[in-house]
Homo-oligomer: A and B are copies of this chain.
Amino acid sequence: MDAVDRRLIDALRANGRASYAELARIVGLSSSAVHERVAKLESSGVISGYRAVVDPTLIGLGVTALVGVEPGENGNDTLIAASLDAVPEVESCYAVAGAEAFIVKVRVPSVDDLHLVLGRLRGIDGVARTRTTVVLATRFEMRPHPLEPGPGVPAEDVP
């Protein structure tokens, strides 16, 4: 994992469909060398896949909420986690420190659907409470901040 790998990762986080030829131009290697390096990043799990970024509002998922899920006295976290996995509207799921053992992100078409999903979450065995925060605007998400500084602006000359 050297500087070239980091630049490849940055390039593929910015454009997951960049061609090997394009990546080769960026890092200054042949496309076959890039092919091999990317294959290694994939098989080693550093790059686990590629995803199209889709605007949720344009596919009818206009409502987003962050929901804290608090287990009761005898709530089993492992079972709760499995139940959360089974709810398709739950897009992300974090196990966190605190009384709320989980924080999940829910994406639904409408507040009516949110209502239904929250009911389902509260109905999960072992869940005592949920606490919902409605998202008013997603300013940015999954922003890729570069690992490798790159050529960038040269440091000031100190005379």
Chain A positions near chain B (C-beta within 8 angstroms): 1, 6, 9, 12-17, 44-55, 58-59, 64, 66, 81, 84-85, 88-98, 100, 103, 133-145, 147
Residues from chain B with Cβ under 8 Å of A59 in the complex: 1, 6, 9, 46, 147
Residues from chain B with Cβ under 8 Å of A135 in the complex: 94-96
Q: Do residues A140 and B92 form an inter-chain contact, with CB atoms below 8 A?
A: yes
Q: Do residues B48 and A9 form an inter-chain contact, with CB atoms below 8 A?
A: no
> How many Å lie between the Cα of A36 and that of B49 in the bound state?
24
Residues from chain B with Cβ under 8 Å of A44 in the complex: 58
> Assuming A53-B47, A59-B147, A66-B103, is B95 touching A142 (CB within 8 A)?
no
> Assuming A58-B45, A88-B145, is B51 touching A13 (CB within 8 A)?
yes
Residues from chain B with Cβ under 8 Å of A48 in the complex: 53-55
CB distance from A82 to the nearest CB of B (A): 10
CB distance from A113 to the nearest CB of B (A): 13
Residues from chain B with Cβ under 8 Å of A45 in the complex: 55, 58
CB nearest to A133 among chain B residues: B96
CB nearest to A58 among chain B residues: B46
> How many Å lie between the Cα of A46 and that of B14 in the bound state?
17
